Structure 1
Amino acid sequence: MTPQPETSGLPMKTAPWDPRFPNQNQTKYCFQSYLDFHRCEKIKGQGDSVCQYFKDVFNDICPNAWIEKWDNQREAGTFPGKI
C-alpha cells in the first residue's frame, strides 16, 4: 500500500471546464476570468463573495507573473482590457 501525501486539510479544487474555451491553451480563459473578476467587483463592490469564483479561477490557471503584470498595469492606467 502506498502512503498518502499529507494535506493541510484544505479541499483541493481546480478551475472547472468552460465550454467557451475548449482548447488546451487556456490563455483566453485566464484573461477572461481576470476581466470577469474585476468587472464583478466594479459592479458588486470589493470583496463580494459572488466575485470570488472568478478570482479562484484566474488564480488557479494564470501564471503569477501575468497577474502581477496586469495588476501593475491597472494601477498605472495602462491595462489593455476593458473593465
Structure 2
Amino acid sequence: MAPKPMPVAPQEETLPLKVAPWDPRFPNQNQTKYCYQSYLDFHRCEKIKGEGDSVCKYFKDVFADICPNGWVERWDSQRAEGTFAGKI
C-alpha cells in the first residue's frame, strides 16, 4: 500500500531579508561598538526628529539586526530608570 501524499500548505508571503550594511567606522568582525553606536544614534535621532520619524528607522533596523535582544532590553530599562551610561 502506497503512503498518502501530505497536504501542501499554502506558501506564506515572505519579506526580503535585510541585514545591517557594512560601516567603515567598524571594520572588524566584532560588531559590539556598531551595535551600541546604532542604538545611541537611533535614540538621538528620535530626540531631535521626534518619535516615529522615518529617518530614524535606519538606525533602529541596524541595532535590531545586530544587537542581542538582552542588551537592548537592558539598555531600555536603564534609560527608563535614568541609569543609562550613554549620552543621548
Calculate the TM-score normalised by the size of structure 2. 0.86
Whether 1:47 and 2:56 are equivalent positions in the alignment is no
| CA RMSD, 1 decimal | 1.1
Whether 1:22 and 2:37 are equivalent positions in the alignment is no
Matches within 5 A, 1:1-83: 8-83=13-88
1:34 CA drift (Å): 0.0
1:11 CA drift (Å): 1.1
1:10-57 C-alpha deviation (Å, 9 max, x unpaired): 111100000000000000000000000000000000000000000000
- Unaligned stretches of 5+ residues in structure 1: 1-5
Give the counterpart letter for 1:50 in structure 2.
V
The aligned length equals 78
* Structure 1 Cα separation of the partners of residues 83 and 64 of structure 2: 21
* Structure 1 Cα separation of the partners of residues 37 and 62 of structure 2: 10
- Unaligned stretches of 5+ residues in structure 2: 1-10
SS for the counterpart of 1:18 is coil
SS for the counterpart of 1:17 is coil
